[in-house]
């Protein structure tokens, strides 16, 4: 496959599109450890990063990989790692560190059946709650889930944009279906892509406070080597970056790690709505599960059944207002997910009994089929 920017269709795998999206977003550093079903992301970037002046490092394990990504980001690079189930677990401590130190980075998790080593080549979506709550402590979280090869490219660009704009780790929550699927892909014109760069200090080093936020709640970020003094710690810190035990500073910092995200939901939330204007029943599905949902809804519509699809692309934070409005208008919501039932409980919480919420959970190595979704919607 050639890598010029001409708009021509090629057959591409989801993991490969993710790697190409990272490059288009300006990523120039990757550290990782091979793990099925995410390994192709690393393989592609091992080839492609040197071609654009970037750096690829295979680390000794997933913990070291995450640490290297944080270090590269602090030095000014847009940085990413990719992993699956057990590796995502190992990264959690340093994901928490990146959140506290406000280090932008992207963590790709191509989910597989688990727990433990599980079924490495089988599809699953069992890390949904881990993406939100896996790391210790309270922090704001952004996690995105693409549902096509093209979205593996475009949503990866969005993941980097959000990470850089809000100075936070962003999880790209893929699954084996999407990562290993091959589809027609037409590379977007680079001029049509929005690529966000991190906010830099506008003042000289002498008076710079590295963690003093601007009005948007996000501090400017100076790279190591730019001449600014920056102290980075996983401890609660004041505007200087140095640790403090102050009650007031602790409350302000932890609150800001949440509010810099929650105050910007209009910029962060992404979702797709299909046939929901007149829908009487609806399926909520994301990632690989949404593939079957598309076909199910179309088949039911052909039979005169008013079914619709709500597909969250931003998994976290939750699109609460949109789900609340959906619960107020349909008779039933079916939540289709390849796990034992995780996202369904969030939909139930948000619906507050306004409608029936049904779990269509599957965890037997197989994707959820259109027939299974159609049956649950038309009961």
Q: Which residues contact 255 (CB under 8 A, 6 or more apart)?
A: none
Is the same domain home to 53 and 147?
Answer: yes
Is the same domain home to 317 and 188?
Answer: no
pLDDT by residue (tens digit) across 148-185?
999 999 999 999 999 999 999 999 999 999 999 999 99
Residue 80 lies in a domain: yes
Residue 201 lies in a domain: no
pLDDT by residue (tens digit) across 33-42?
999 999 999 9
Is the same domain home to 59 and 147?
Answer: yes
| Cis amide leading into 115 (omega within 30) | yes
Residue 181 lies in a domain: yes
Strand runs (DSSP E) across 152-257, as ranges? 169-175, 182-186
Is the same domain home to 187 and 276?
Answer: no
Contact (Cβ atoms closer than 8 angstroms) between residue 297 and residue 376: no
Residue with tokens 């939100």: 132
pLDDT number for residue 237: 98
Show the domain range for 174: 9-192
pLDDT number for residue 4: 52
pTM of the predicted protein model:
0.96
Is the same domain home to 47 and 164?
Answer: yes
Residue 15 lies in a domain: yes
Is the same domain home to 76 and 180?
Answer: yes
Question: Of the residues 192, 215, 246, which one is the last residue of a structural domain?
Answer: 192
Q: Do β-strands 105-113 and 119-123 pair in parallel, antiparallel, or remain unpaired? A: antiparallel
Is the same domain home to 181 and 278?
Answer: no
Question: Of the residues 153, 168, 192, which one is the last residue of a structural domain?
Answer: 192
Is the same domain home to 36 and 172?
Answer: yes
The one-character DSSP state at 103 is -
Question: Of the residues 177, 192, 207, which one is the last residue of a structural domain?
Answer: 192
Is the same domain home to 32 and 133?
Answer: yes
Q: Which residues contact 248 (CB under 8 A, 6 or more apart)?
A: none
Is the same domain home to 188 and 275?
Answer: no
Q: Which of 70, 160, 166, 49 is nearest to 108 (CA)?
A: 160
pLDDT number for residue 8: 87
Q: Which residues, given as ranges, of the chain have pLDDT below 70? A: 1-6
Residue 358 lies in a domain: yes
CA 281 to chain centroid: 27
pLDDT number for residue 6: 53
pLDDT number for residue 1: 44
Is the same domain home to 151 and 13?
Answer: yes
Is the same domain home to 139 and 287?
Answer: no
Residue 250 lies in a domain: no
Residue 89 lies in a domain: yes
Q: Which residues contact 361 (CB under 8 A, 6 or more apart)?
A: 337, 338, 339, 340, 341, 344
Contact (Cβ atoms closer than 8 angstroms) between residue 112 and residue 36: yes
| Three-class secondary structure of residue 335 per DSSP | strand
- State how far the Cα of 333 lies from the Cα of 353, in Å rounded to an integer: 11
User: The domain that contains 356 carries what CATH number?
Assistant: 3.40.50.920
- State how far the Cα of 145 lies from the Cα of 170, in Å rounded to an integer: 11
| Three-class secondary structure of residue 202 per DSSP | coil
Contact (Cβ atoms closer than 8 angstroms) between residue 51 and residue 10: no
Number of folded domains that form the chain? 2
User: The domain that contains 175 carries what CATH number?
Assistant: 3.40.50.970
pLDDT by residue (tens digit) across 193-232?
999 999 999 999 988 999 999 999 999 999 999 999 999 9
CA dihedral over 52, 58, 61, 67, signed as positive or negative:
negative
Residue 44 lies in a domain: yes
């Amino acid at each position: 496959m050639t890598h010029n920017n001409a708009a021509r269709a090629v057959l591409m795998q989801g993991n490969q599109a993710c790697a190409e999206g990272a490059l288009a977003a300006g990523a120039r550093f990757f550290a990782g450890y091979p793990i099925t079903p995410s390994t192709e992301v690393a393989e592609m970037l091992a080839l492609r990063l040197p071609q654009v002046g970037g750096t690829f490092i295979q680390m000794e394990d997933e913990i070291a990989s995450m640490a290297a990504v944080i270090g590269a980001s602090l030095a000014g690079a847009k940085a990413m790692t990719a992993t699956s189930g057990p590796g995502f677990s190992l990264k959690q401590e340093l994901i928490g560190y990146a959140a506290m130190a406000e280090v932008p980075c992207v963590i790709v998790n191509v989910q597989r059946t688990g727990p433990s080593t599980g079924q490495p080549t089988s599809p699953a979506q069992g890390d949904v709650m881990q993406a939100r709550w896996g790391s210790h402590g309270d922090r704001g979280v952004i996690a995105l889930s693409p549902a096509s090869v093209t979205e593996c490219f475009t949503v990866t660009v969005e993941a980097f944009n959000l990470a850089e704009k809000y100075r936070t780790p962003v999880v790209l929550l893929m699954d084996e279906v999407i990562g290993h699927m091959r589809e027609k892909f037409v590379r977007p014109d680079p001029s049509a892509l929005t690529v966000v760069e991190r906010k830099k200090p506008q003042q000289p080093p002498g008076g710079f406070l590295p963690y003093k936020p601007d009005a948007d709640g996000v501090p400017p970020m100076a790279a190591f080597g730019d001449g600014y003094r920056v102290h980075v710690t996983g401890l609660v810190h004041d505007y200087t970056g140095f640790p403090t035990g102050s009650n007031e500073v602790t409350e302000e910092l932890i609150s800001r790690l949440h509010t810099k995200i929650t105050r910007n939901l209009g910029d962060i939330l992404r979702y797709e709505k299909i046939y929901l204007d007149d829908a009487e029943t609806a399926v909520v599905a994301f990632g690989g599960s949404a593939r079957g949902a598309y076909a199910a809804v179309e088949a039911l519509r052909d039979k005169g059944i008013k079914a619709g699809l709500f597909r969250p692309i931003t998994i976290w934070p939750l699109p609460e207002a949109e789900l609340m409005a959906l619960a107020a208008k349909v008779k039933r919501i079916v939540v289709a997910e390849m796990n034992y039932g995780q996202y369904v409980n969030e939909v139930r919480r948000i619906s507050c009994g306004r409608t029936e919420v049904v779990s269509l959970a599957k965890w037997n190595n197989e994707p959820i089929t259109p027939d299974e979704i159609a049956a649950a919607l038309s009961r």
